[in-house]
Amino acid sequence: MDMLIGGKHISSDDLEDVINPYNGEVIDTIPIAHIQTVKLAIAEANNAKDELSEMSAFKISNKLFNVVNKLKEKREEFAKILSLEIGKPINESLVEVDRSIETLKLAAEEAKRIYGESVPLDAGLNGKGFFAFTQRLPLGVVAAITPFNYPLNLTIHKIAPAIACKNTTIIKPPTEAPLAVMKFAELLNEEFPDGVVNTVTGYGSEVGDYLVTSQDVNKISFTGSVTTGLMISQKAGMKRVTLELGGNDPMIVLNDADIDKAVKGVINGAFLNAGQVCMGVKRIIIEDSIACEFCEKLVSETEKLVMGNPLDPKTTLGTLISKKAAIQVEEAVNNAVDMGAKVLTGGTRDGSFYEATVIDNVTPEMDLVSNETFGPIAPIIRVKNLDEAIEVANDTDYGLQAGVFTSDYASAMRCANEIEAGTVFVNKQSTFRTDNMPFGGFKNSGVGKEGIKYAVEEMTKIKLIGLNLR
């Protein structure tokens, strides 16, 4: 599949296969862009700014709604592509497409709500007799660098609000799973002027690095690793950045919790997309008095998951993105076992598959939980009380989302106030997101917020206009 630049399909002498992680088959090939191609994409995006700027909010909104309808028509086709390139179960892929449709709707609606405000200058010294108001203006060119785990939805979270507030865009999709993103860019290009949406495929060390350092790109919106995010923040200079860098999300279960509800939270939170979710349940911090009952029920529910062909509707656990990724999870689990942890169920790898695994007697210093493990793992950390639970929850360099299960709202509010995370859910796991909420974490989980309204704020600049009426 070719890149889309300035409305034209562009290839390269260098190609790379897109591999189905389930069976190792080649799905398609993509071009590997080099700097000259990236320069062309940046130039085309800048050339398209004036034409997009001349479009009314009404027209942009309607065009985004047109894309909503096109994506609805191709729902099953996009879901199949996602399952083929990621190894995600088809039912989860359908949910990703449905969320993408809703995210687009939100952007189409938000295109009509980009307000300024009046500013009472007479509240300041010598301000009497002035009338002032603000406008929100587009930054210019927004570059979106997206990951493999939710490539379609996370790309739309970046480029839909960008276009809604009249920025042109360049998308660098994930090399492992670029096809759904590239196909979606074609739908947008059918509605908007050439150059408003551009795709460049290639390696982050070349394509991503040039986008980050170019003075002709005005914002970088990146979702990925902390290491890459830190490099982006150091190289971006004066341009705006939004960095969504993952998490090591805790789920606290207190002794007065509804255990069945908490177990369901782990099943939905730790094993979704084979655990490849930045806001997934990565650490289950549970009071020791209920840990044995909780583990017994969790093992029983975990063993009901069906691992198999991602295109089979009965499959509830797909592959990891690659065999290499599965080996990394395997090594993290084995190291924890060597340090005293106990696998209660799972713990076996088969190619790119890794079984849904419940592992008990985990301690905070184990690499399995001291760093983010991107796999279908439910690590149990036992604690004595609420004080220790909060201390363990905060003992991480990340702070994306968190959940606490309890029937005592005093305990719930204490967790909400004291856990260092961008979002804390009560009686819900961290792996929950609506596409209109502000999404973004603290500490090494990144800077800035996504969620359409909040993304628009990050993708616009404020101009003040003052009138002297004296």
Per residue of the chain (470 residues), what is the pLDDT tens digit?
999 999 999 999 999 999 999 999 999 999 999 999 999 999 999 999 999 999 999 999 999 999 999 999 999 999 999 999 999 999 999 999 999 999 999 999 999 999 999 999 999 999 999 999 999 999 999 999 999 999 999 999 999 999 999 999 999 999 999 999 999 999 999 999 999 999 999 999 999 999 999 999 999 999 999 999 999 999 999 999 999 998 999 999 999 999 999 999 999 999 999 999 999 999 999 999 999 999 999 999 999 999 999 999 999 999 999 999 999 999 999 999 999 999 999 999 999 999 999 999 999 999 999 999 999 999 999 999 999 999 999 999 999 999 999 999 999 999 999 999 999 999 999 999 999 999 999 999 999 999 999 999 999 999 999 999 99
For 316-360, give the secondary structure using H, E and C: CECCCCCHHHHHHHHHHHHHHHHCCCEEEECCCEECCEECCEEEE
List residues with catalytic annotation.
244, 278
Residue 52 CB coordination number (10 Å):
19
Q: What is the pLDDT of residue 466?
A: 97
Between the two ends of the chain, the Cα-to-Cα distance in Å is: 62
Q: Please give the backbone phi and psi of residue 213, each rounded to the nearest 5 degrees, phi first.
A: -95, -15
The predicted pLDDT at position 268 comes to 96
Question: What is the model's pLDDT at position 412?
Answer: 98
Q: What is the pLDDT of residue 336?
A: 98
Segment (H or E) for 447: strand 446-447
Tell me, what's the pLDDT at 18?
A: 98
Tokens of 455: 């993304």
Q: Which residues pair with 222 in a beta bridge?
A: 145, 243
